[in-house]
Amino acid sequence: MDYFKGTEDYVISKELRDNVNVSIALGRPLIVKGEPGTGKTLLAHAIAKGLAKKFHIWNIKSTTKAQDGLYLYDTVQRLNDARFGDHDVADIKQYIKLGKLGEAFNADEQVVLLIDEIDKADVEFPNDLLNELDEMSFYIPETKETIKAKTRPIVIITSNSEKELPDPFLRRCVFHYIEFPEQQLMEEIVHVHFPDIEKKLLREALKKFYWIREFDMLRKKPSTSELIDWLQALVIGGIPAKTIENEIPFLGTLLKKKEDIEVVEKSGKSHYAYNSSMRTRDVY
């Protein structure tokens, strides 16, 4: 059986790695939730790479229907062919195009399938896929054919929790919530991106980064990807570690909203750099 150990360029916590292996062993989809920018999508890439398997992505949009993932019956093409008589239109099979899920089922060997941002679609969307994901097969009435997975694909589903997923769907999945990495894990993650970053710079930068994240009233908290961008800017700009102790250069790469920048700048000026938002939580 396949055992996922992680890859060189994707740092993974032990719990998540274990849960990936649980989901592979049980043959059930793994739902990954977490703050934006915690590497949910990258996880699927890493699994495919780590296990050396083919990789399929099904990006979900607000208009995506469950049927799109299974197959598409190209009726217009068939009508067109019937008019001009190029093809044998009696053979419906040639007008059936498999969707991403269909492709993954139809593959000869086990593949990794990523269903990205499932919560973007309609509320009913996950329910429409219940049986298909359970049995890993579906029926095409037009050709009287059943597409069945030869080996159950490894299915990773990501969600930003914009919508609640229905309970029957959740029951059939393994769930993992990616916590925001702690400083130690974050250092490892940064090292993957910047193998030779100066230690002092990194430490000071991370200190500031976690300090900013403490602010309760931020509209959008900076995430890992913003930290990477910021470090990139610091390295290119040749900012010494000393400077970061006193000010935060390139704040715009970390915070994307005007109000947020104001909040941080305001509290940064006062002598104790007092994080005023800490109060709101224990107000009563």
Residue 283 as a binder of other proteins (CB under 8 A): the answer is yes
Least distance to other proteins, CB of residue 227, Å: 18
C-beta closer to other proteins: residue 75 or 225: 75
CB of 159 to other proteins, least distance (A): 11
Pick the binder of other proteins from 198, 220, 229, 233 (CB under 8 A): 220
- Helix then strand then coil, % of the chain, to nearest 5: 45, 15, 35
Residue 274 CB-density burial (10 A; 0-12 exposed, 13-18 middle, 19+ buried) = exposed
Q: How many residues bind other proteins (CB under 8 A)?
A: 43
Binding residue (CB under 8 A) for other proteins from 8, 196, 199, 284: 284
For the chain, the residue count is: 284
Q: Rounded to whole angstroms, how far apart are CA atoms 267 and 272?
A: 8
Shortest reach from residue 171's CB to other proteins, in Å:
5
Residue 63 found at the interface with other proteins (CB under 8 A): no
Amino acid residing at 126:
P
278 part of the interface to other proteins, by CB under 8 A: no
131 lies in the binding site for other proteins (CB under 8 A):
no
Nearest-5° Cα angle at 151, 70 to 113: 50
- The helix (H) or strand (E) run that includes residue 24 is helix 14-26
Interface residue with other proteins, options 4, 28, 115, 230 (CB under 8 A): 28
**Quick check: 171 binds other proteins (CB under 8 A)?**
yes
Question: Quick one: which segment of 10-18, 51-59, 97-105, 224-232 binds other proteins (CB under 8 A)?
Answer: 10-18
Cα separation, 152 vs 205, in Å, equals: 44
Rounded to a whole number of angstroms, the minimum distance from the CB of residue 123 to other proteins is: 10
- The residues pairing with 138 across neighbouring beta strands, listed in sequence order, are 147
Residue with tokens 């002598």: 271
> Distance (Å, rounded) from C-alpha 274 to C-alpha 278?
9
Q: Based on the shown chain and the rule CB under 8 A, indicate whether residue 162 belongs to the binding site for other proteins.
A: yes
Under DSSP, the state recorded for 93 is: G
Minimum Å gap between C-beta 22 and other proteins is 5
Cβ 231 vs Cβ 197: under 8 Å: yes
CA 13 to chain centre: 16
Q: Which of 61, 148, 219, 258 binds other proteins (CB under 8 A)?
A: 219
**Please, how many CA atoms are within 13 Å of residue 136, restricted to the half-sphere of its CB?**
18
Beta bridge partners, 154, equal: 112
Range 30-59, binding other proteins (CB under 8 A)? 31, 33
**Residue 14 near other proteins by CB under 8 A:** yes
Please identify, among the stretches 20-28, 45-53, 206-214, 265-273, the one whose residues bind other proteins according to the rule CB under 8 A: 20-28
Residues binding other proteins (CB under 8 A): 14-15, 18-19, 21-23, 25-26, 28, 31, 33, 75-76, 78-79, 82, 161-163, 165, 167, 170-177, 179, 184, 216-220, 259, 277, 280-281, 283-284
